[in-house]
Structure 1
Amino acid sequence: MSRIFLSMLLLCVSALCAAEQVALHPKLEPLRPYLNQHWQGDLSQPGADAKVIDRSLWSRALNGQAIKTVHSINDGQYGGESFIFWDENQQSLAYYYFTTAGFYTHGTMTFDTQVGEIIAQEKVQNNQNGITEVKSFSRIMPDGTLDVKSNYLQNGSWVEGHRATYKPVAQQQIIFK
């Protein structure tokens, strides 16, 4: 009888631990479909000889109080990490993005529930190409791919940024040099 009780107790404790592991701040819940998925996108310019492959992973961080994204282009040629969190003072999702190129961004996000789209607006610090702001749009498409497009405020004018479709891929290492 005590073995059954002990087994039941261990099962309950395991279930509680599993529930705690998946806890996420309520304001981050719209981003849950992006979590624990490895994504890969081809950022190559049409007609270019060299491939530009971006690999990324979104994961739960800080006991569910944040989401961490990590990405690497061409196995560490360029990359970055960000933390997305609920900012109580701004009453908004906020984030910081740090790059291997020595610049960082900070901004806010909204989630358009009508189309399932993340809209991010960020300020860029220390960019050597004159980019001071970025606005991006991301959403998971019905076929499971992730569509991302952006616009840059560069040298005082808004220009079209990159656009890419990311596919879900098997687990892979995100490499930094």
Structure 2
Amino acid sequence: MVRWIPLLLLFVLRPAWGWELDAKLEPLRPFLGKVWRGEFSDSTPDNPVIDVSQWQPALQGKAVRITHSLNQGQYEGETLMVWDEQADSLVFYYFTTAGFYTKGTAYAKDGVFYFHERVAGAAEGVKEVRSEIRFVDGEMHQQAFYLKQGEWVKGHSAVYQAVH
């Protein structure tokens, strides 16, 4: 137990931004250090679908970790995103409590963030996901599209607000 105390103090005393963010991750800075709360567009008073996500720098600024929870833990996911020099792209893995995971790439262009992921494991027939995130008046607007049975269909969408 004594060995862990100095390491624990390092994390307690060092602020979350104690490390420089990798320059290739800079486009993600507007998301970082915030807790985002979003309501899915198909949410209803009888069947609310609320997502809470947190975006944090990780691995001494060499990665971004995103955790999220739908309806207070009914479904959860965690993403780890890094810059891949060989691919010359942001790459990420997304793991879920639903038993599937994805591997994807991301990039920003003209203020819009684009994500493309390939699905592994059971995910209700979804083989790939493409999504877009844009900031509009301080809100994060997200729209997903799913490749199902060979066709791209509109998936979930949500509007998020920073709550912390």
Q: Which runs of 5+ in 2 are unaligned?
A: 1-13
The 2-side partners of 1:62 and 1:25 are apart by 10
- How many equivalent residue pairs? 151
CA distance in 2, matches of 1:168, 1:64: 21
**Identical counterparts, % of pairs:** 45
Corresponding residue for 1:108? 105
Per-residue deviation, 1:44: 5.4
1:44 and 1:51 in contact (8 A); partners too: no
Shift of 1:20: 6.8
TM-score, normalization: structure 2?
A: 0.86
Cα gap change, 1:56 to 1:18, in 2 (>3 Å) = closer
How many Å apart are 1:163 and its aligned residue? 1.0
Q: Compared with structure 1, are the counterparts of its residues 70 and 138 closer, same or farther at alpha carbon in structure 2 (3 Å cutoff)?
A: same
Say whether residues 1:119 and 2:114 are aligned partners. yes
- More helix by proportion, 1 or 2? 1
Give the match for residue 91 of structure 2: 94
Pairing 1:144–2:144 present: no
Whether 1:168 aligns to 2:131 is no
Which residues of structure 1 form unaligned runs of 5+? 1-16, 171-177
Structure 2 letter corresponding to 1:40:
R
Q: Letter of the aligned partner of 2:114 in structure 1?
A: I
Which residue in 1 is equivalent to 2:11?
none
Which is greater in Rg?
1
RMSD over aligned Cα atoms: 1.7
Distance 1:163 1:20, change over 3 A: closer
Q: Where does structure 1 differ by over 2 angstroms across 4 or more consecutive aligned residues?
A: 17-20
Asked if the contact 2:41/2:156 (under 8 Å) is kept, the reply is no
Counterpart of 1:67 in structure 2 is: 64
TM-score by length of 1: 0.80
